[in-house]
Amino acid sequence: MEILNSLIANLQTPMFLAFLLGIFATLIKSDLKFPDGMYTGLTIYLLFAIGLKGGVKLNSTSIEEFYKPAIVALILCISIPIIAYFLLTKIGKYDKANSAALAAHYGSVSAVTFSEALAFLESLHIPYEGYMPSMLAIMEIPAIIVALFLLKTNSSQEKENLSWKKVTHELFTGKGTLLLIGGLIIGILSGKKGHEQFAPLFEVPFRGMLILFLLEVGIVTGRRLSDLKQAGVFLIGFGILFPICNAMFGLILGKYAGLSMGGATILATLSASASYIAAPAAIRIAIPEASPALYLTSSLAITFPFNLSIGLPLYLSVSQYLYGV
Q: Count Cα neighbours of 219 within 13 Å in the Cβ-side half-sphere.
A: 14
Fold classification of 1-25+33-323 (topology level): Na+/H+ antiporter like fold (1.20.1530)
- Model pLDDT for residues 108-132, shown as the tens digit of each residue: 999 999 999 999 999 899 999 999 9
For residues 106 and 299, give the distance between their C-alpha atoms in angstroms, rounded to a whole number: 8
The domain ranges of the chain are: 1-25+33-323
For residues 121 and 138, give the distance between their C-alpha atoms in angstroms, rounded to a whole number: 21
What is the SS3 assignment for 246?
helix
**What mean pLDDT do residues 278-291 have?**
85
For residues 273 and 106, give the distance between their C-alpha atoms in angstroms, rounded to a whole number: 7
- Model pLDDT for residues 148-199, shown as the tens digit of each residue: 888 888 765 544 555 667 777 777 787 778 888 899 999 999 988 888 888 8
For residues 167 and 179, give the distance between their C-alpha atoms in angstroms, rounded to a whole number: 18
Q: Return the CA Rg of the chain.
A: 19
Residue 311 confidence (pLDDT): 94
For residues 286 and 306, give the distance between their C-alpha atoms in angstroms, rounded to a whole number: 28
For residues 39 and 56, give the distance between their C-alpha atoms in angstroms, rounded to a whole number: 26
For residues 317 and 1, give the distance between their C-alpha atoms in angstroms, rounded to a whole number: 9
69, 257 in Cβ contact below 8 A?
yes
Return the biggest CA–CA distance within the chain.
55
